Amino acid sequence: MTNSVASNMTNNTKAPKDITFFGRFESDILTGKKTITIRDTAESYFEVGSEVQASTFEDNRWFCALRILSVTPINVADLSDGHAAQENMTLLELKSVIGDIYPGVTDLFVIEFSKFK
């Protein structure tokens, strides 16, 4: 289910080289427990196969490099227990976090990544 980001990019959009996460997710990312992030359109322009630098949102502290594996559109209603497991939380927790970060937004993107070796 890999979706090339090129189809999501406009002529004026450059694929980002950096990504931020709330600090509470750092450990889960570093241990491989969190392997996706769900973002809105404004943060969906990652290029599949690219390396991005991950840092904490709160203080912009770098903590690892990630490889972008896929970028796939999703509606909040279609989020599953599988997505929640990839986020290292329950589906109820995932939907709550998404609602807090993106209130009223239903069309999002699943960005799958792995820690760059």
Q: Which residues are catalytic?
A: 34, 37, 87
Q: Which two tokens stand for residue 51?
A: 């390396």
- The residue assigned the tokens 């290029």 is 47
CA angle 90-95-98, nearest 5°?
A: 125
How far apart CA 82 and CA 23 sit, in angstroms, is 23
Q: Are strands 18-21 and 51-56 parallel, antiparallel or unpaired?
A: parallel
